Amino acid sequence: MTTHRIEPSASSRAHLASTMSGWRSPDGAVVTLRPTRASDAELVQQFVRELSPEARRLRFMGAVRELTPRMLERLVRIDHTREAAVIATTSRGGRTCQLGECRYAVCPGSDNCEFAVAVLDPWQRRGLGERLLSELIGIARDRGLGAMIGDVLASNAAMLGLALKLGFSVSPGRGDWSMRRVSLELRPASGSRSTGLNQSCTE
């Protein structure tokens, strides 16, 4: 069954590009959550540099020390018709620092989206990853998308645990024992359409 993605209106895209919200961690730290902007290149590059080698491996599925200019451009220039990206920032020593990010891209030919999330090691297990992913799920639902999916390394117990906590189902990866596929239906069961979870989702 062919699925059709609901495009956000121009006003909706503008709203999603500018909305900011506050969040306070259980230990009282104040964090701002907002969409990624084209002007965030330096902020995002520094964030990736501050990720531990293991966190970079889990986020980018490989050894990445810092972003190439092309990768950086790709991460900060968001196509709001098919993508969403939210970052978490705080003030540290008088400057703004990025603590985490969460983003999705709509799968070609489908109304599913594929997500990724990353959080600095000192901010893991403090609720920030859950807050970011919950924000992203809300955006995807508002846009009328059918399902959110992701491929997670089987060794990434923290990400798999977070996915289960937020209602994702977990299944074996496609032909790769080291991977797990997580998926979350975004529409109510009573009004759901085919989400095409059997379709591939590759960029």
Which domains are seen in the chain, by residue range? 10-188 (3.40.630.30)
Q: Which residue has the higher pLDDT, 77 or 94?
A: 77
| 162-191 tens-digit pLDDT | 999 999 999 987 777 888 999 999 987 654
| 132-156 tens-digit pLDDT | 999 999 999 999 999 999 999 898 8
Phi, psi for 143 (deg, rounded to 5): -85, -5
Share of the chain above pLDDT 70, in %: 81
* pLDDT value for 54: 84
Phi, psi for 96 (deg, rounded to 5): -85, 130
Q: Which residues contact 122 (CB under 8 A, 6 or more apart)?
A: none
pLDDT at 112 over 80: yes
* pLDDT value for 135: 94
Across residues 71-79, what is the average pLDDT? 91
* pLDDT value for 62: 63
Q: Is 193 exposed, middle or buried (0-12, 13-18, 19+ CB in 10 A)?
A: exposed
| 15-70 tens-digit pLDDT | 454 466 788 878 888 899 999 999 999 999 999 899 888 888 777 766 677 788 99
Share of the chain above pLDDT 90, in %: 52
